[in-house]
Structure 1
Amino acid sequence: MSNQQNQPRGAKEYVVLIPLQKTAILNIVLIERRRVSDITDKNILHIGSGRNVDFIIYKNSLPVQSDNEPSQFSSQFKVFMMDKRTQELNQENRILRFWFYSLEQNQCLYDANELLRALFKSDEFPRDYFSFIKRLMELLRMFTRIRKIELEIQTLDKNALDVDHPIKQYVSRLMLYDNDYLSE
């Protein structure tokens, strides 16, 4: 009850995306539940519509409140991404950090595991950066016990990718198939 008293009158809960850091090889964003009362804030880049009406994207990290609390769970994985413009294969290291509302550790682990299972469903796995972040926002909306998620994406050195790596051969076959399909 006291939590509601601290919220501004008329504030509505949104799932917000806040960019924290962006360089040529590193991108960190915060996705969190936040009560927002002023949707005319000049720092808001986009407010969702339709089924994503509860999404807000901020321009920069001004709305971030200092939180030195360590994450309660994290997961790290690597993905291969094809740059459509240059046709280069890049490898990214992605780290997801989770913060929960007050819960016991087993419940936190269960919720994080279920979110990751939903994220990695092969038929729904996001194929690009934008879709990946949007999917995380959708999942945060569904998993109400998760308070926030920080996503860190680091592009790895191109020289670290082995030329004979199986993913390189797989992508080449996919591109060949796509080109054949397009020429029919």
Structure 2
Amino acid sequence: MGHREDLLEGAQRCLLAKGFARTTARDIVKESGTNLASIGYHYGSKDSLLAQAYIALVEGMGDAFEGQGEAGLTAAPGSVERFQEVWSNIIATMREPGSVWRLSVEIIAMGDQLPEVRDHLVIAQREAGRGLIPLLMGGREEGVPDGTADTLGMFYVTLMTGLIAQYTFDPRTAPGAEQLTEGLRQVIAAAGPS
């Protein structure tokens, strides 16, 4: 493994241990076994490296969203049952101690103080929505048109951001997948046939 990969993995470990604001370039260097100059050479800045490390951590959650083995997704894509399965899996990642999602709350709260990190993550949001659509609706990520990523994808990202905030604030009162699904059923019923 080269310095670029070592830095990314070291930055991921630092983020999980210290978060964005408390992680220094020296922490990353110590954790990765590299040198300060490598950060600038490979990533441009510490904040750019941290943003890419966070994105890599989130991308690594994809398998957990799908579930594993018997717990894998079984309901038909686009169904209310599939909605409940996927959100149940996503919520399970939020309940884990040391959840990566607490970093999202930090970036929301400190976005103005970490503008380079925020700017990278703003770009990544659209792709996050594009990635959630196939989980819930079927199909392939590459086949999701930009317009769908900007509407349905951002709907899912907004729902996820709200859940992250609620689970970070008080996991005891945050909604489960069953409650979200019942809420969705009520919205569908109220909308009536189109």
The TM tier, using the shorter chain, reads under 0.3
Write 1 or 2 for the structure with the bigger share of strand: 1
TM-score, structure 2 normalization: 0.25
Identify the structure with bigger relative contact order (alpha carbons < 8 Å, sequence gap 6+). 1
More helix by share: 2
TM-score by length of 1: 0.26
